[in-house]
């Protein structure tokens, strides 16, 4: 059930991250990262969870220029996790 919810929410997560970055909304990036970290805590833990926590902590206006590439890498890793989870629970 959690995998299905994660898969269903992933496109919205991607859109929200992109919109928050485009708007220069550090608080929005922090909120999204916090939500994803909560989900990851239930699904996988490990390095991806820590990476999400780092993004959450770095989400302040002065860090937005460096967060774009980090968030892109995080989003790609979330996609990979989703694929692994789908295969494991298919």
What average pLDDT does range 52-64 have in this prediction? 96
Rounded Cα–Cα distance for residues 2 and 5 (Å)? 5
Tell me the pTM: 0.89
pLDDT at 24: 95
Phi, psi of 31 (to 5 degrees): -60, -45
pLDDT higher than 70, residue 44 = no
Of the candidates 38, 25, 37, 31, the one whose C-alpha atom is nearest the C-alpha of residue 68 is 25
Question: Distance from CA of residue 43 to its chain's centroid?
Answer: 13
Counts of helices then strands in the chain (DSSP H, E): 4, 0
In this predicted model, what pLDDT tens digit does every residue of 5-33 receive, in sequence order?
888 999 999 999 999 999 999 999 999 99
Domain extents in the chain: 2-89
């Amino acid at each position: 059930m959690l995998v299905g919810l994660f898969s269903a929410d992933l496109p919205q997560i991607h859109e929200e991250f992109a919109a928050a970055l485009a708007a220069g909304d550090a608080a929005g990036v922090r909120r999204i990262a916090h939500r994803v970290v909560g989900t990851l805590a239930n699904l996988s833990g490990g390095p991806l969870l820590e990476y999400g926590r780092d993004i959450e902590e770095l989400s302040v206006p002065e860090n937005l220029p460096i967060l774009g590439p980090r968030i892109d890498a995080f989003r790609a890793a979330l996609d990979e996790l989703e694929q692994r989870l789908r295969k494991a629970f298919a």
